[in-house]
Amino acid sequence: MTVETVKAGLAIRVTQADGRAGQVQVKAACKNKSNGHWYCVSHQEGFPNNFDKDTHIRTGAHEMVWICHEHGAEAP
């Protein structure tokens, strides 16, 4: 298992639950880490809770970013 986090300033592609995709700029982390969810950039998949995220990252390589519900993509 390899898990890396996306750095602030990078542009990533994010696919939303409804299938729409687009480029977003990763921002520096905000202080509120309770209002958002993890997103695997490698597999274009978001996780509503830590259990689902932890199950996903058990094997393989993953590049993760925090999606703040208020500010968008952030470096964790």
pLDDT number for residue 41: 95
Please state, in angstroms and rounded to a whole number, the distance separating the CA atoms of residues 73 and 60. 22
pLDDT, tens digit, 9 for 90 and up, residues 19-42: 788 899 999 999 877 899 999 999
Average pLDDT over every residue of 6-30:
90
Residue 62 is encoded by which pair of tokens? Answer: 């993953």
What's the average model confidence in pLDDT over 6-29?
Answer: 90
Q: Quickly list DSSP for 36-71.
A: EEEEETTTTEEESSHHHHHHHTTSSEEEEEEEETTT
Q: What's the rounded mean pLDDT across residues 7-24?
A: 88
Contact (Cβ atoms closer than 8 angstroms) between residue 36 and residue 64: no
Count CA atoms closer than 13 A to 76's CA, side-chain side: 15
